[in-house]
Amino acid sequence: MANVYYEQDVKYDALSGKTVAVIGYGSQGRAQSRNLKDSGVNVLVGLRKGGRSWELASSEGMNVVTIEEAAEAGDVIQILVPDQIQQEVYEASIKMFLKSGKAIGFSHGFNIHYHQIIPPEGVDVFMVAPKGPGPLVRRMYEEGKGVPSLIAVYRDYSGKAKDIALSYAKAIGSLRAGVIETTFKEETETDLFGEQAVLCGGINELIKYGFEVLVEAGYQPEIAYFECLNELKLIVDLIYEGGIINMWRGVSDTAKYGGLTVGPKIITKDVKELMKKALERVQNGEFAREWVLENKSGQVVLKASIEAAENHPIEKVGKALRDMMPWIKRGE
């Protein structure tokens, strides 16, 4: 079983007297830096001067400086810019300021695990990865709650890297909910696999194929959309709130029987074998190498794939139907 930590487990504040530099002010950077500040941590937000994020962070009371200034002043540097530009930002603006005794942190292990970023000797490397989007991390903190996080230590020169990770997790509110200890390898590989095989890739293809089968069989696209996409939220909410068994308990007996008997005939053991191959590509670094090259070539494949997705008939139908659902726009 995993090691799980809560507020009462952390007696020592490893951030006391230190300056934490948060690089980036996107979804996670904004939430984490504001939570840190409200927890009494001395925070600097490092950004490109003159950008929109600079104005936003300044308007929200953050101490905003350039990335170089933040990296030089920070005892703990949390890099929260997107994965695909982390190496560039690190090499251009952070690396030269990493002296022995400093610590560098991440919320996803990709660039450390696949050696796109190699911190110098004497620098601790840790991870605090909230398992929820930035706005939720902030909202739960403001409500006196927290979003669970993963923590990991990659290098521990000081002997205090884990203390730093736990103190950081406490300051952003995660220890209120619980923090699970992992490794950079485990977090990175499971995260990539989940995105590709299930959460983003797998479910996307399943929805499209279901829609296409119904439409090609002569059913109205609007009805196919409702049955294969729109109602997915109901199912996901039930699973999210109480696990898969909660979903089975929440749907009709007809849906139970049909799902349990037909589902395994659609998602067969052959699919599981293909999932294993996808995991192998993650584990051996093949996907990482492909993604690094994709970014160096201007994301040609990604842009073409997004364009194809935007032009799929399900998007046109969905847009028209969502216009009939004002509660979606209100976030209800």
Residues tagged active-site: 108
Q: Which residues contact 312 (CB under 8 A, 6 or more apart)?
A: 208
CA 313 to chain centroid: 29
CB distance 174 to 148 below 8 Å: yes
CB distance 87 to 117 below 8 Å: yes
CB distance 47 to 69 below 8 Å: no
DSSP secondary structure, 14-36, as one string = TTTT-EEEEE--SHHHHHHHHHH
Q: Which residues contact 101 (CB under 8 A, 6 or more apart)?
A: 75, 122, 123, 158
CB distance 218 to 39 below 8 Å: no
Q: Which two tokens stand for residue 142?
A: 């403001």
Q: Is the dihedral of CA 235, 238, 239, 243 positive or negative?
A: negative
Across the chain, which distance is largest between two alpha carbons, in Å?
68
CA 75 vs CA 16, 20, 41, 70: distances in Å:
11, 6, 12, 9
Supply the DSSP symbol for 60. Answer: T
Q: Which two tokens stand for residue 186?
A: 């485990």
